Amino acid sequence: MKPQVLQLNPILIPAVNDELASLYQVHKFFEISDQAAWLREHGARIEAVITGGHTGISREMLEQLPGVKVVAVNGVGTDAVDLAYCRGRGLPVTATLGALTEDVADLAIGLLIAACRNLCAGDRFVREGLWEQFPSPSAIPLARRFSGMRVGIVGMGRVGRAVATRAAAFGCQIRYTDLRAMDDVPHEFVPDLVALARASDALVLCAAADKAEGIVNAAVLDALGPQGFLVNVARGRLVNEADLTEALVAGRIAGAGLDVFVDEPRVPQALRQSDRTTLQAHRASATWETRAAMAQMVLDSIAQALAGERPALSLTT
């Protein structure tokens, strides 16, 4: 009999689903109507779990899976997994660290350029036939140049470094903040977030700080100022959305490019309606290349765990 795998989230790469089906008996939990009854009847046979960073897995569910040997997170977020419980149980939890870096950094720069140059507003202006009605060059307000901006990066991990590399190629001056200064980073370290915002034309959030909340508040936004831009490709809850909305409406910052939100998929109406925002649906890693690489990491982690090995990508010891 094939090993039993419980899959909590869909995987969008057909070839990976085919490989999973060839190697394991895969139970797609998201398609099961009476999930509680199914767990009571079949939970003891499950040897591996595949989940997503946002979904994670509850301790209550894990307690119904006594034979599970690995929790493979198809993503980088683990705040929805009880890591302390998993450590105590000796259960490996893996994540697809590194696979998302390039795409997330690409989108961060894309959001910043789109916000600075009003790309979405310009697109609507053409699509809605307004260019023909208002052909004067002054019909669309002048935009902000991205090249040469002072960019402040919050979180100089993999993504932060990749964003810095890209921004530096546009002649941007880079500063950053993190829990500590990085010896191998050539850019200026600014320990205080308000001070970093004050010294920046754009603030890019890249921190994977799962427990931080509302660190970008009114004080930070006021320090960023009416010519400043905010980009968030990290965690939605890093931003106080009420403070951000007020700052945008009042013109206390110039604009924001957001891929993540506090209560996804519910996005505040004020952010959706604002001409100062460029919004995405948490899709920074949504390319075929990255999703295939992530899925392969999941496959590798399951194979290693079921072979009695400690998965290479394990976050628990």
d(CA 27, CA 311): 22
The secondary element (H helix, E strand) that includes residue 233 is: none
Q: Among all residues, which ones are annotated catalytic?
A: 235, 264, 282
Cα–Cα separations (whole angstroms), residue 285 to 23, 98, 100, 207, 300: 26, 11, 6, 15, 19
d(CA 154, CA 161): 10
Report DSSP state, residue 139.
G
Burial 120-130 (b: 16+ CB within 10 A, else e): eeeeebeeeee
